[in-house]
Chain A
Amino acid sequence: MDRSQLLRGALDAAVLAVVAEADGYGYDVLRRLRDAGLADVGDASVYGTLRRLYRGGALTSYVMPSDEGPHRRYYGITERGREQLADSRETWGDFSRALTGLLEHELEVTA
Chain B
Amino acid sequence: MSGTTLERPDVAAYLAAVRSELADLPPEERDDLLADVEASLLDSGEPPRTAPADFAAELREAAGLGRTDAPQAPPRSALETVRALLASERAAALAGAARDLAPLWWLARAYVAVALVALAAGWGWPLGSGTHSLTAGIGTSALVLAAAAVVSLWLGLRGRRGRDPYPRLRLAANVALALALLPIAAHSLDRFPQRTVQPEVQYEPLPGLAYDGVPVWNVYPYSRDGKLLLDVLLYDDQGRPLAIGGAVSDPYRRFLTTPDGTPITNSFPIRYFEPGTERVARPYLAPPVELPEVATPALGEEAPG
Contact = CB atoms under 8 A, between A and B. Distances in A.
B33 A68 contact: no
A55 B62 CA distance: 12
Contacts of B62: 11, 42, 44-49, 51-52
Contact of A27 (B33, B39, B60, B65): B39
B2 A44 contact: no
Given A44-B48, A49-B63, A52-B63, A72 B39 contact: yes
A43 B37 CA distance: 9
Contacts of A43: 37, 40-41, 44, 48, 50, 55
A53 B188 CA distance: 71
Interface string A55-98: 10000000000101111110000000000000000000000000
B131 to A, nearest CB: 81
Nearest to A11: B62
A71 B42 CA distance: 11
B35 interface: yes
Contacts of A46: 62
Interface residues of chain B: helix, strand, loop or mixed (majority): helix
Contacts of B37: 26, 43-44, 47
A28 B44 CA distance: 9
B4 A69 contact: yes
A68 B39 CA distance: 10
B39 A69 contact: yes
Nearest to A50: B36
B61 to A, nearest CB: 7
A26 B36 CA distance: 6
Contacts of A25: 36, 39-40, 43
Contacts of A50: 36
Please classify how large the interface on chain B is, using the bins under 10, 10 to 19, 20 to 34, 35 or more: 20 to 34
Please classify how large the interface on chain A is, using the bins under 10, 10 to 19, 20 to 34, 35 or more: 20 to 34
B36 A44 contact: no
Contact of B56 (A44, A70, A71, A73): A44
B59 A48 contact: yes
Contacts of B63: 47-49, 51-52, 55
A30 interface: yes
Interface in B59-83: 59-65
A42 B50 contact: yes
A42 B42 contact: no
A49 B41 CA distance: 16
Interface centre among A26, A30, A45, A66 (most CB of B within 10 A): A26
B58 interface: yes
A73 B61 contact: no
B236 interface: no
17 contacts: A25-B36, A26-B36, A26-B40, A27-B44, A43-B40, A43-B44, A43-B50, A44-B55, A44-B56, A45-B61, A47-B33, A47-B59, A48-B63, A52-B64, A55-B63, A66-B39, A68-B2
Given A26-B40, A48-B62, A69-B4, 10 more contacts: A26-B37, A26-B43, A27-B40, A47-B36, A48-B60, A51-B63, A69-B42, A70-B4, A70-B42, A71-B39
Interface of B: 2-4, 32-33, 35-44, 48, 50, 55-56, 58-65
